[in-house]
Structure 1
Amino acid sequence: MTLNRRKFLRNLGITGSLLTMPAAILNATPLFKKGRIDLSTITLKGKVHSNGKGIPGVQVTDGINIVLTDKHGEYSLQSNATAEFVYISVPSGYAFPEEKGIAAFFRPLTKGNGVIKNDFSLEKLMTDDQQHTFVVWADPQMKSKKDVELLMSQSVPDLQALVKSYPKETLIHGIGCGDLVWDEFELFADYKQAVALSGIPFFNVIGNHDMDLEARSDDGSANTFKKQFGPTYYSYNRGAIHYVVLDDVFFVGAAKSYIGYITENQLQWLEQDLANVKPGSTIVLSLHIPTFTGAQRRAGKPEEIGGGTVANRKQLYKMLAPYKVHIMSGHTHFNDNWEDGNIMEHNHGTVCGAWWTGPVCGDGTPAGYGVYEVDGTDIKWYYKSTGLPKETQLRIYPKGKVKDAPEEIAANVWNWDSKWKVEWYEDGILKGPMEHRVAYDPWAVELYAGPLLPKKHKFVEPTLNDHMFFAKPSPDAKKITVKATDRFGNVYEETIG
């Protein structure tokens, strides 16, 4: 038998077996319909306009690919039925669309149509947005109506007062940096009310306590959040700044288990997004879990993959290399600033402090939020402690307060970074720089140390920080003054007698 004849008979055998198969299989009817992924093609179309006039060059995305509007402000994007939203990157020069304070830059996609049309109407700003301000509210994290009462009676009035302290025409927006609630999704309504009362639009970030813990994988863990706030990753623009929000909370499918990780879907989307941003531009990137902190170093432990930092952060840093970047994060309930090359990360003290148990976080940072003032590509910032004037940026402790240093005075300069200068005076005489050491804040120790404190949440413990400073005064010293100068030349002083 020749090779060709054997091949012919083998093919005939396959064909014969196919002929005996049920017609359903031959017609490729699926054996299992439930849970099938619908990959049918859809076309997203529409116009981005202001008073009917098209706006060219606006990014439009389905969360997978990005297109730009044409000269008429029109877009057409080939997508598929897995897409959940169509949304825009609001361009500079336009007001942020909002609904009761929640940024409304997206449209949910209704299934069943081959062509889905959505227009976006934007309002042109009357003032130059090169100068603007934004605030970062990390971890409001409300578990109960009592927590809501504290947010409404303390945090909301503080933010309202801050907004009023700026000239009326100042452009201010907020970033809710994750853990907007603490697993109690009915409290999203209270968070939204707080945002509405603030009087400024908020863009929101998903945190680990904003996830659906009953989801079987990460893909379904943001379903409730999306219904409340829209996409979990997106971008927008104001003035010369390009803002990006990412979801770095990766749910591993077991209750309350997650790691810090940015999915490939987001990274490929971000690659497209950054392709439209000029190298050298300033980017503000917000996510919940910090990409990195000094916590492991302070504790004398090696870095580990887990829920404290982002496992694939180095891949993110490579993508951000052409830009000047400020990363905004929360999650840790301590304040921590680090800077390396083109990147600075601001890991914020929290709105809720130590989970609404006391006035300070575990590192002694007062409950509060970050305030950032933008002028062109320059950004200046300070930490606003709830209920305290903006000039309060440090706390001094007399001798004996720090058990490990009984002969020294200590100062906690909570928003310190490596470009601050911290000096001390004894009875009006400058003694020089204070000694910078990793330590615990003594008030946090008093409030939270031990298995019985605090009563409300006994898991809270004081945490080591990088912003404690020490000096040893003379035995007969009568007055000690600490002067802290930030990188912008602002001077903050506190005195004890």
Structure 2
Amino acid sequence: MSTNRRDFIKALGLSGVALTAPAIAGANTQVLTAESTDITNLTLKGKVQSNGQGISGVPVTDGINITLTDKNGNYSLLSNKTVQFVYITIPAGYAIPHNKGIAQFFKAIDTKQNSFTANFQLERLERDEKDHVFVVWADPQIISKKDGEALISRSAPDLRDLAANYPAGTLIHAIGCGDLVWDHFELYDDYRQAVNITGVPFFSIIGNHDMDLDARSDDYSASTFKKNFGPTYYSFNRGKVHYIMMDDVFFIGTAKRYIGYFTEQQLQWLEQDLKHVPHGSTIIVSSHIPTNTGVKRRANLKEDELGGVVSNREQLYKILAPYKVHIMSGHTHMNEKWEEGNIMEHVHGTVCGAWWTGPICSDGTPEGYAVYEIQGSEVSWFYKSTGKPKDYQLRIYPRGFLKTAADEVVANVWNWDKQWKIEWFEDGKAKGIMEQRTDFDPWTVELYAGPQLPKKHKWVDPTLTDHLFFAKPSAGAKAIKVVATDRFGKQYSQEIQL
């Protein structure tokens, strides 16, 4: 990893970062200052209903505390005038309200009075939702209209077509996993247009490139994001699965410097949220920065990069201990997975690949997104490469393509985890299991290595990855086939002629 690239994606070593209770921007969308903060009590009240009938037991929150609707669907919550939204946890059995694909589960608060009424209308689903699908778009990260056009013309139709290929009536939602744009907020319109084209309702998460870089502290860094997408942390239910969206990008008050960190207010809110979720349930937690990765191990670093993982992740894991947890994240522009105890984290390859510089991420993962299929409380998944069929799950490089393995063929199996099996065949004869090693994907070296590559963003470099597999063919071998079997028993294969 080059020095320029390190400077780009990591936060500097920091100490003594002051943490304060958030004072959230008011509904007039003006960023509050310390002088203008009003902590006067504010009563939030209203009703959650469907077809005129109140819905009981729906969590309603101001981002600090949570209350439940009563038997008639009514709620009342004592808050204060620092809060910006009142919002609900969409209960199981109801459609996701949205405006042209952007999920609408919140109301902006008018703090001019000492009481604010917000009613929520939900539509009951006509079909069972225990089986459903969701996708994760990590890092669309558009910095120009040209990038926006790529998202609109390539990525969005790909997801639209994928959704159309499921049986009629299949329930599908999506998670925009942060860095929706690249510091250019006028391009949120392009992101919205792409979302609308997909026909899929999206829940969005803030990334480090979605922050207001002129904010004086983290408390105010999400002002523009909130105007466009609402709260930065929230939850909803679909079938037997509880979904939680979190904000783990902590801005330290100087442009483009941040750490991966969950505030105390969020963790306290999460504890309240999970009081209403039975132990043993399947939980999907999504945030932009991975809670953990293999970067430290692969790069032989002494410490984690503060902007690359979540510093207080162990506190999150303690809260999640009673559940079956899948964590969704992006940020790194690499695809990897780790699994320990009750938690599996999916760090996603990106919609933009290597920042729209080429067709693959810096680890060789094609630009694309992950697809998760839910059956009851069970989760299965695959990676969907943009413009490629669903079974495109590996790439084989011929002997000599990677200079560090001159006499070996190399297979990149980008969605690999430790429960996959990678086998190879020489001229039709089974040769056994391929050797897994950490190295650079050969195509990324060709596209991105060196100070003059790529032309668009010269700081992009290849990155070390664990999902490479090696085999040494015999001198007279004519054809090599690789068969990858995933943890669900599905097989994918590719063959090359030598």
- TM-score, normalised on structure 1? 0.93
* Cα distance change of structure 1 residues 405 and 217 upon mapping to structure 2, 3 Å threshold: same
* Counterpart for residue 300 of structure 1: 300
Cα deviation 1:147-179 (Å, max 9, x = unaligned): 011112211111111011111200000100000
Does 1:241 find its partner at 2:241? yes
The residue type equivalent to 1:321 in the other structure is A
* Counterpart for residue 479 of structure 1: 479
Note the 1:184-203 alignment, pairs <5 A: 184-203=184-203
Q: In structure 2, how many angstroms separate the alpha carbons of the residues matched to 1:393 and 1:51?
A: 45
* Counterpart for residue 59 of structure 1: 59
Note the 1:73-152 alignment, pairs <5 A: 73-152=73-152
Cα deviation 1:38-66 (Å, max 9, x = unaligned): 11111111000001101000000000000
Q: CA deviation at 1:302?
A: 2.3
Q: CA RMSD in A?
A: 0.8
SS of alignment partner, residue 404 of structure 1: helix
* Counterpart for residue 18 of structure 1: none
Cα deviation 1:184-214 (Å, max 9, x = unaligned): 0000011011101100100000000000000
Q: In structure 2, how many angstroms separate the alpha carbons of the residues matched to 1:314 and 1:85?
A: 29
Note the 1:426-441 alignment, pairs <5 A: 426-441=426-441
Q: CA deviation at 1:34?
A: 6.9
Q: In structure 2, how many angstroms separate the alpha carbons of the residues matched to 1:154 and 1:121?
A: 34
* Counterpart for residue 341 of structure 1: 341
* Cα distance change of structure 1 residues 35 and 443 upon mapping to structure 2, 3 Å threshold: same
Q: CA deviation at 1:340?
A: 0.4
- Contact preservation (8 Å) 1:305, 1:311: no
Q: In structure 2, how many angstroms separate the alpha carbons of the residues matched to 1:121 and 1:153?
A: 33
Q: In structure 2, how many angstroms separate the alpha carbons of the residues matched to 1:306 and 1:221?
A: 18
- Contact preservation (8 Å) 1:57, 1:71: yes
Cα deviation 1:348-405 (Å, max 9, x = unaligned): 0000000000000000000000000000000110000001101010000110011011
Q: In structure 1, how many angstroms separate the alpha carbons of the residues matched to 2:311 and 2:371?
A: 28
Q: In structure 2, how many angstroms separate the alpha carbons of the residues matched to 1:146 and 1:287?
A: 27
Q: In structure 2, how many angstroms separate the alpha carbons of the residues matched to 1:149 and 1:187?
A: 10
Q: In structure 2, how many angstroms separate the alpha carbons of the residues matched to 1:358 and 1:36?
A: 47
- Contact preservation (8 Å) 1:236, 1:243: yes
- Contact preservation (8 Å) 1:62, 1:85: yes
Q: In structure 2, how many angstroms separate the alpha carbons of the residues matched to 1:34 and 1:59?
A: 30
User: Greater RCO between the two (CA within 8 Å, min separation 6)?
Assistant: 2
Q: Percent identity?
A: 65
The residue type equivalent to 2:160 in the other structure is Q
Q: In structure 1, how many angstroms separate the alpha carbons of the residues matched to 2:95 and 2:282?
A: 20
* Counterpart for residue 282 of structure 2: 282
Note the 1:357-396 alignment, pairs <5 A: 357-396=357-396
SS of alignment partner, residue 274 of structure 2: helix
Q: CA deviation at 1:300?
A: 1.0
SS of alignment partner, residue 226 of structure 2: helix
Q: In structure 2, how many angstroms separate the alpha carbons of the residues matched to 1:94 and 1:495?
A: 46
The residue type equivalent to 1:285 in the other structure is V
* Cα distance change of structure 1 residues 34 and 406 upon mapping to structure 2, 3 Å threshold: closer
Does 1:412 find its partner at 2:412? yes
* Counterpart for residue 16 of structure 2: none
* Counterpart for residue 221 of structure 2: 221
Q: In structure 2, how many angstroms separate the alpha carbons of the residues matched to 1:97 and 1:484?
A: 39
Does 1:156 find its partner at 2:151? no
The residue type equivalent to 2:199 in the other structure is G
Q: In structure 2, how many angstroms separate the alpha carbons of the residues matched to 1:112 and 1:408?
A: 70
The residue type equivalent to 2:278 in the other structure is K
Q: In structure 2, how many angstroms separate the alpha carbons of the residues matched to 1:141 and 1:490?
A: 32
Q: In structure 2, how many angstroms separate the alpha carbons of the residues matched to 1:138 and 1:231?
A: 19
Q: In structure 2, how many angstroms separate the alpha carbons of the residues matched to 1:212 and 1:168?
A: 41
The residue type equivalent to 2:139 in the other structure is D
* Cα distance change of structure 1 residues 112 and 466 upon mapping to structure 2, 3 Å threshold: same
Which stretches in structure 1 are left out of the alignment for 5+ residues? 1-32
* Cα distance change of structure 1 residues 120 and 473 upon mapping to structure 2, 3 Å threshold: same
- Contact preservation (8 Å) 1:62, 1:86: yes
SS of alignment partner, residue 405 of structure 2: coil
Q: In structure 2, how many angstroms separate the alpha carbons of the residues matched to 1:317 and 1:459?
A: 34
Give structure 1 regions of 4+ aligned residues with deviation exceeding 2 angstroms. Answer: 302-305
Q: In structure 2, how many angstroms separate the alpha carbons of the residues matched to 1:227 and 1:439?
A: 42
Cα deviation 1:83-141 (Å, max 9, x = unaligned): 11000000000000101100000000001211111110000001100010000000000
- Contact preservation (8 Å) 1:143, 1:181: yes
Which stretches in structure 2 are left out of the alignment for 5+ residues? 1-32
- TM-score, normalised on structure 2? 0.93
The alignment covers a number of residue pairs equal to: 465
* Counterpart for residue 7 of structure 1: none
- Contact preservation (8 Å) 1:328, 1:345: yes
